Structure 1
Amino acid sequence: MVTLIKYQGTTPGSPPSVQALVGKTVALPCDLTPSTPNDSVVLVVWYKDEHTPIYSYDVRGPYITRPKHWRGENLEARALFQRITNPSSLNMDNVSEADEGEYRCRIDYLKSPTKNLRVRLDVIVPPNKPKIYDVNGTEVGDHAGPYEEGGDMKLQCVVSGGKPTPTIRWWREDKLIQTSTTTRNRDLTNRLANQLIVRGLKRTDQHVKFTCEASNHNYSLPVRSSTSIDIYFRPLDVEILSSNQPFSADRKYEIPCQTFGSRPPANITWSILEMRRELRPPKYNITENIAEDRNSTSSLLTFIPSKEDNGRTLVCRASNLNVKNGVIETSLQLNVYYIPRIQLLLGSSLNPDDIEEGDDVYFECQVDANPSAYKVVWKHNGIALQKNQLRGIIMSNENLALQAVTRSQAGNYSCVGSNVEGDGDSNIIHLKIMFKPICRTHQKRVYGIARHEESRILCEVESYPPPDRFSWSFNNSAEVMEVPQERYNSTIHHFTSILTYTPVTELDYGTVMCWGNNLAGRQQEPCIFHIIAAGKPDPLYNCSIVNRTNDSLEVECTEGFDGGQPQYFLLEVYERKSGVLQANVSAKFPLFIVSGLDPGKELKMAVYAANAKGRSEPVLLEGFTLKVAEKQTVLSLGTRDQIEIAPVLGVLVGIVTAVLLVTVVILLALKIRRSRRNACRALRPRFLPVKDKVTLPLRSESEDLFEKDDKNPDVVPSNKDSDYQLGSAAQTPGLNNSALSVSGNPADFGRNVAGSPPASAATSPSAPLQNVTPLAEAYMARNRNFTPSATNNEVVYAELQLARPNSLDPIKNGGQHFASGQQYATLRKGDDSTIYTQIDHGRRPPPPPVPNSRTSPIVSPVTAAISTSKQGLYHREVVTVRTPLMGCQQESCV
């Protein structure tokens, strides 16, 4: 490639010049036109700097057909003279800066004179690639910065080399920027610099490409260096993405906050303005997320507000610390709903330790709630109070007034406030009202103590303030005396006083009384305790079998007097035929559950009450367990084959038909027998004569046993071969703890009384009635008007078993006792042995005696009037003796 040649000189008369770029090809012109027509060139020689040949072109002699080219050492093979161009030229390749200078072309012709032509070669050297430096003198690469948004950017472009002197220019993308004048570097004279300043950087300047360009000739390509700038931006906005709905205290919420426009992505922090501290894990769970385009950042705060957070300011702050003023924040006013917080206060003018009955008391309920409580409920001992001005109860949402308080109004007071979040309870104020001691309920009032036995009598009172002193007194039928203080010990903290008491004689049994004293005064009504001689407990009564299965049964009774000592209960179960013990159960309460029994067994049972003094007389029962064969029969019917069902059904239908016919016949017979029995009852005498006296222990009852016995008849038993249940006389409520049974020994239960021979042996009128069972005894008790046949002279013996008395109060009757011929009974004190009464069925009842101080009518089938005298008082007790049913013959209507 040949560079552009300029044939003009720099000054008039100077040779023309040719410019060539370093490393390119240049053509130095040499016009070969001769001055004489038809002449030819024979030799061309090139000189540099006038005298030094560098190239020759020779066509003389043998070279006329093939010209000879000669080159100097500097040109070597990079120069070539060519005549095909017009004008001819010396072409040089890879021009260097050393090739610059003045060249002379000498032309020798065949005829014409020699001609010399001069030309100047100017070599153009392009500048080196520019380098871009920041204000710190550090060369930047493809990216400059980062710079702050709104700040200034200063870049300097430095260019070295270049001939002629290059020109430096800055470009923004494709747009030329007007810059300051190019200056030469002071330290290096061959370096030129040009500074670019951009003030107030904007977001639009981010990643803009700035180019430094250096050039020194229009025909040479300029050299360039480019860089793009990096700018840090402040966050544009931050927002808490939450509605204005209120929060509920102690509930978990997730609150999001988002910011955008920051570069690099902003950091989000949370804080409570009033607390002046940042919310950080692990107490607060914060999750941060940066968008893929890195233009936005979001943060999720897991927050559990409390009551104390109400009204506080939650702040979300987005910050970019790489730029000045790179912090922006937003806030949210917390509206936290919470359950009412309530403080209950007693009236400021009241002394809680000096409130007496009749004083006025008031309370104040301070409610702290958001939202406000829509109602306040006042409570006394956990029960809501109702406004009642007549009773002196005046209340409002915040105040409660009690006028003229009484002892019953003492206790715990509280108030409850309610809003949409729930109910809030206040603290409890215990209102103490001073009152004199009173006896605490449910104390043990009767103590059974044996002679020379030490006992501790506990007296418990209620009062406020606690009693500071107790006093005791003793009262019997002979005297009333104060108990010395060394005989009892008072425990003020527990409101109790304990009297240690040991009876020695009969006069030591009676009543002790206890008084408490406190600041309010002395107890008005003393606590009264009865001290009686300890003994065995009374037998149980109202015993019955409440449930039974094929291997278990339940027995339930009602307990009697405990004899003054703690009692427990026993149940013994025997097989009826063999008398073998099947079960022995003890219980704290008179309810027994017996399991593990054999099915289909007839049983007899004895129930006792026991304490430290011994056990009571037994209450005897009879029962049985269910059979399982019937169930198996029914189940087996369902397992037979289909072929066997039809015969079985035929047999069952026949059996059922036969049973129905028998049932109809039995019902007709029972109806006829009932009509005859009613006729027999109409002819029976009203009273049964007593042939001999009966001996019974002393009883004192204030109730009319005749009326109770009439109102509580025993259950009519079934036939003698069936299973049945029978309670003794102690089970009859009308007897009130009296026990009547066939035998005191359970092993003899159901046997003949007093060892009498079988019934078939009773042939004489004087022979006693034999085989008296409890079933017959109960049946006799039901049929009160029963009278044996006039021709029957049998004497019947009934065994009586009576419990101890539980009261010493006499039954007064104007000093009278009863005795009527052979119908009487005498008292034998302290005799607990088995006694018998002889009943003469052959005697007719005498006419009713006239009541006087010695006699009294008998109004039950068999009665015993008991008379005794103690200290001038008469005592009596009526005992009903029940005898078995003897039969009713159709002929005699008995």
Structure 2
Amino acid sequence: KPEPTIRWWRGEKLIDSVDTRSGFVSVRSNQLVIKSLKRSDQHAVFICQASNNNFSQPVSASITLEIYFRPLIVEILSSNQPFSADRKYEIPCQTYGSRPPAKISWWMENKELKSYTFNHTQTNSADGNMSTSLLTFTPTRLDNGKALTCRATNQLVQGGVEETTIKLNVFYVPILHLTLGSNLNPDDIEEGDDVYFECKVNANPWAYKVLWKHNGQIMQPNQKKIIMSNSDLALQGISRNQAGNYSCTASNVEGDGDSNVVELKVMYKPVCRPNLKPVYGVARHENAHILCEVESYPPPDSFKWSFNNTANTVDVPQSRFQSGPHHSSSTLTYTPVTELDYGTVMCWANNLAGRQQEPCVFHILAASKPDPPFNCSILNQTSESLEVQCIEGFDGGQPQYFLLEVYDQQNGFLLGNISAKFAVFNVSGLDSGRNLKMVVYAANSKGRSESVLLEGFTLKVAEKQTVLSLGTSDQIEIAPMLGILIGIVTALLLVSVVILGVVKIRSSQGEGSHILRPGFLPVKEKVTLPLRSESEDLFEKDDKNPDVVPANKDSDYQLGSAAQTPGLNNSVISAEYEGSGQHITPLTEAYITRDRAYAPQPVSNEVTYAELSITRPNSLEPIKNGVNQYGSLQRRDEPTIYAQIDHSRRPPPAPVKTSITSPIISPVSTLFPTAKPSLYHREVVTVRTPLMGCQQESCV
């Protein structure tokens, strides 16, 4: 006593103070009702306190809430990258907010992935708020596009299920299926028909390249009568060579996928099998078994034989030949009796596609001895062995074999003989350093061929041999052929050297006969002037033999100086030039007078040659030794001077005194001009005796 008061506290907060009497005496109660619990109420502590006075310590009791929650979040922790088929992956899934921890399960297309089939494990955090499941998964191409679900379940809470789903993107190697065109009968395709194939491709991602193969070999695009695409192949006008196995191959980032193989069978008429024996040598009353083999599809069902000689053509009765076990060959037994039985035998085959167009031809000849082998050579020579190889000749219509006889070249002793089915011999057990003579020939039932002689040797010890020795034969001799070839090559080389020499001489002559421009013509030394006492010359000496005119020291063309020419009539020369205002020096008078005196009269049927001597365009230094009053010569632009020559056979005669009609200026007067140097151009014209009197020719 007194009766207590009951209150509910949450921490320091009073939340309920209303109590009621119970059915018992002196008993009171207070019931706390929380209408809506929240996640924040987890682990909340509520205290029930009772007191009846203010002096004693109140009595209390507490309760802690433990709340169950449904999962809040479920997520698959994998990137959006695609999966590759048949590879192992670990896919994690996490869930939060479940109390107690949720159970995680995996589902695909609404089917649970049991742990005994698909390995997955679950772990929980320390506080139980987070749970993680790790699925070990190996997808296949059939899983592409399927839904993978991670589901979290709390069975203690109503509606305690949360899940998330991803769509699988599985990459895989292309899967292909090849079929023949739907409207084609694979057993009824003949040469000339059109054929097409369909290649169905199943791939993720889509194939970026599709190849077609024929008998395992890649078919190249842009071939004639072949049309290719990523899903179709068309063959127009097929031939028997296009029969065989066809397939297609597709490629993507996962790799290359091959289709099934489809065999294309092309029916064609029979044709002769290659490498048949074309010639049979048979003696009279001897049986010859002639084999006729053909290639065809389908195999031939019948054969036909005929014989042809110079007289007529006869069909061979069927009783004389028989077909092979696989119906692709026929053997004729033929026995010649007379000379008319030798000729040509022909064979035809028939199948479902038709009759063979070109027959197989065999020639029946009288049997004879074989031809000798040829092109024999010695190879692989060592100190104790060597090898002989030859090309086989005609066998004479009979099976042949080959023989080799080895002799010592010094004493002629037979060292050994070898027989072989083919013309290849390996001789061993010889002594080193031996000179050998070898004989090779062929033989059959009719006899032996002519012999082929070979000379060889074995190497000495520590000696090597790499030269190939050639054999000699009675019919084919290689050494004379090599000599002829060497002679032809030598003759060609000599002719080439002669031609090059002639071209070189002509080119050297042509270089000296080039016509120079007037500005580059050399100055001719027509007068020797004693103008300088020192050793230096005023001009550089040039070639005195322009073109083909030789220099002659004894001819009148060589003019002396004025001091060396006495008795000149200077007054006459001076009178001729007084009216022109030119300055005439004694040397000029001597030059003109001498030139007039020695000017020859042109003769009929002769050609007159003219030569120009023009001043250099270069400026000269002042002249020393008392003549420097004229100063240095200045370069001036002079017009180009050309000489015109009359090429007629009979030039008109010219008088001696009028052979020089234009004013002539001395080289000295040109070098040292007077008051009017620019009015005249230096030009010296001389007349010579021609080199040839019977042929018209000119040279400038």
- What TM-score comes out, normalization by structure 2 length? 0.53
Larger-Rg structure: 1
Deviation at 1:439, TM superposition (A): 1.9
The match for 1:384 among 199, 219, 222 is 219
Q: Distance in 1 between matches of 2:255 and 2:144?
A: 17
Name the CA shift for 1:482/1:779 in 2 (closer, same or farther; >3 Å).
closer
Q: How does 1:404-803 map to 2 (within 5 A)?
A: 404-421=237-254, 423-446=256-279, 457-475=290-308, 481-485=314-318, 488-490=321-323, 494=326, 496-499=328-331, 501=333, 503=335, 511-530=344-363, 539-550=372-383, 553-561=386-394, 600=433, 621-628=454-461, 725=469, 727-729=471-473, 732=476
State the secondary structure of the residue aligned to 1:329.
Answer: strand
Tell me whether 1:238 sits opposite 2:74 in the alignment: yes
Deviation at 1:515, TM superposition (A): 1.9
Q: Distance in 2 between matches of 1:728 and 1:302?
A: 83
Q: Distance in 2 between matches of 1:571 and 1:193?
A: 136
Q: Distance in 2 between matches of 1:617 and 1:281?
A: 91
Contact 1:623 1:724 in 2 (8 A): no
Name the CA shift for 1:287/1:621 in 2 (closer, same or farther; >3 Å).
farther
Name the CA shift for 1:528/1:780 in 2 (closer, same or farther; >3 Å).
closer
Contact 2:384 2:431 in 1 (8 A): yes
Q: Distance in 2 between matches of 1:473 and 1:418?
A: 57
Name the CA shift for 1:217/1:598 in 2 (closer, same or farther; >3 Å).
farther
Deviation at 1:496, TM superposition (A): 0.8
Contact 1:546 1:554 in 2 (8 A): yes
Q: How does 1:1-400 map to 2 (within 5 A)?
A: 178=16, 201-209=37-45, 228=64, 230-250=66-86, 253-273=89-109, 276-279=110-113, 286=120, 290-291=124-125, 294-374=128-208, 376-378=210-212, 382-387=217-222, 392-394=225-227, 396-400=229-233
Q: Distance in 2 between matches of 1:593 and 1:320?
A: 93
Contact 1:622 1:724 in 2 (8 A): no
Name the CA shift for 1:356/1:169 in 2 (closer, same or farther; >3 Å).
same
Q: Distance in 2 between matches of 1:364 and 1:625?
A: 67
Q: Distance in 2 between matches of 1:595 and 1:622?
A: 16
State the secondary structure of the residue aligned to 1:467.
Answer: coil
Residue segments in structure 1 that go unaligned for 5+ positions in a row: 1-162, 632-722, 735-777, 784-894
State the secondary structure of the residue aligned to 2:380.
Answer: strand
Q: Distance in 1 between matches of 2:403 and 2:62?
A: 114
The Cα offsets for residues 133-162 of structure 1, whole Å up to 9 and x where unpaired, read as: xxxxxxxxxxxxxxxxxxxxxxxxxxxxxx
Name the CA shift for 1:724/1:544 in 2 (closer, same or farther; >3 Å).
closer
Contact 1:459 1:498 in 2 (8 A): yes
Contact 1:467 1:516 in 2 (8 A): yes
Which amino acid is the alignment partner of residue 522 of structure 1?
R
Residue in 1 aligned with 2:490?
none
Name the CA shift for 1:297/1:616 in 2 (closer, same or farther; >3 Å).
farther
Name the CA shift for 1:621/1:519 in 2 (closer, same or farther; >3 Å).
same
Residue in 2 aligned with 1:90?
none
Which amino acid is the alignment partner of residue 541 of structure 1?
F
Percent of aligned positions with the same letter in both sequences? 62
More strand by share: 1
Q: Distance in 1 between matches of 2:474 and 2:101?
A: 98
Name the CA shift for 1:197/1:513 in 2 (closer, same or farther; >3 Å).
farther
The Cα offsets for residues 281-322 of structure 1, whole Å up to 9 and x where unpaired, read as: 787565655556654344454555444333333333334445
Name the CA shift for 1:630/1:456 in 2 (closer, same or farther; >3 Å).
closer
Q: Distance in 2 between matches of 1:385 and 1:321?
A: 66
Out of 546-555 and 523-532, give the one that drifted further.
546-555
Which amino acid is the alignment partner of residue 130 of structure 2?
S
Name the CA shift for 1:732/1:630 in 2 (closer, same or farther; >3 Å).
closer
Q: Distance in 2 between matches of 1:167 and 1:611?
A: 143
Q: Distance in 2 between matches of 1:614 and 1:231?
A: 119
Out of 619-628 and 446-455, give the one that drifted further.
446-455
Contact 2:370 2:443 in 1 (8 A): yes
Deviation at 1:168, TM superposition (A): 7.5
Q: Distance in 2 between matches of 1:199 and 1:435?
A: 96
Which amino acid is the alignment partner of residue 143 of structure 2?
D
Contact 1:454 1:500 in 2 (8 A): no
Q: Distance in 1 between matches of 2:154 and 2:477?
A: 97
Which amino acid is the alignment partner of residue 514 of structure 1?
C
Name the CA shift for 1:366/1:174 in 2 (closer, same or farther; >3 Å).
same
The Cα offsets for residues 594-639 of structure 1, whole Å up to 9 and x where unpaired, read as: 67877555556566778899997875544444444579xxxxxxxx
Which amino acid is the alignment partner of residue 242 of structure 1?
S
Q: Distance in 2 between matches of 1:320 and 1:200?
A: 20
Deviation at 1:522, TM superposition (A): 1.5
The Cα offsets for residues 361-413 of structure 1, whole Å up to 9 and x where unpaired, read as: 4444444444444555555553425447xx65555554454455455554445
The Cα offsets for residues 305-354 of structure 1, whole Å up to 9 and x where unpaired, read as: 44433333333333444544343322222334444444444443333333
Q: Distance in 2 between matches of 1:524 and 1:394?
A: 30
Contact 1:180 1:196 in 2 (8 A): no
Q: Distance in 2 between matches of 1:623 and 1:418?
A: 62
Which amino acid is the alignment partner of residue 308 of structure 1?
L
Deviation at 1:531, TM superposition (A): 5.5
Q: Quote the RMSD (CA, aligned, Å).
A: 5.4
Name the CA shift for 1:227/1:514 in 2 (closer, same or farther; >3 Å).
farther
Q: Distance in 2 between matches of 1:618 and 1:304?
A: 79
- What TM-score comes out, normalization by structure 1 length? 0.43
Name the CA shift for 1:486/1:221 in 2 (closer, same or farther; >3 Å).
farther
State the secondary structure of the residue aligned to 1:314.
Answer: strand
The Cα offsets for residues 91-128 of structure 1, whole Å up to 9 and x where unpaired, read as: xxxxxxxxxxxxxxxxxxxxxxxxxxxxxxxxxxxxxx
Q: Distance in 1 between matches of 2:383 and 2:415?
A: 14
Which amino acid is the alignment partner of residue 384 of structure 1?
M
Name the CA shift for 1:467/1:780 in 2 (closer, same or farther; >3 Å).
closer
Deviation at 1:437, TM superposition (A): 1.9
Q: Distance in 2 between matches of 1:477 and 1:449?
A: 18
Which amino acid is the alignment partner of residue 729 of structure 1?
S
Deviation at 1:729, TM superposition (A): 1.0
State the secondary structure of the residue aligned to 2:142.
Answer: helix
State the secondary structure of the residue aligned to 1:325.
Answer: coil
Which amino acid is the alignment partner of residue 350 of structure 2?
N
